Amino acid sequence: MTDVSGTKGVTGEKFMKKEERKQCWNARDNLWQCLDKNGKESEVCQGLRKLYTELCPPTWVTHFDRKYDYNKFKEEVTKEGWKQMDEDFKKQ
């Protein structure tokens, strides 16, 4: 719940000011660009991931990570087609 000052939300995370939100979003965008360029398991992107997790609330990190994965999945479905993905899944 909200404390007396009104600075915490239901999750206990502090209210982020506009500039803090921009920094979080920029860190997210920089990380996503690195991942797109170098791959999800790239060591190159670890510094950007650290900054991203420091600047963004944990619930935002979880949400943005899921959104990134979902967007990549949608791109794959668009590129390969769902029928091909079904066939590949059946072979497993």
Report yes or no on 41 lying in a domain: yes
Does any domain span residue 75? Answer: yes
Spell out a b/e string for 51-60, using b for 16 or more CB atoms within 10 Å of the CB, else e: bbbebbbeeb
- pLDDT above 90 as % of the chain: 57
Q: How confident is the model at residue 4 (pLDDT cuts 50, 70, 90)?
A: very low
pTM of the model: 0.72
In a domain, 30, yes or no: yes
- Rounded Cα–Cα distance for residues 19 and 8 (Å): 17
Domain-located, residue 49 = yes
Residues 52-64, mean pLDDT to the nearest whole number: 96
pLDDT digits (tens, 9 = 90+) for 19-37: 999 999 999 999 999 999 9
- pLDDT computed for residue 2 by the predictor: 41
Q: What is the residue range of 68's domain?
A: 18-87
The total number of structural domains that make up the chain: 1
Does 9 map to a domain? no
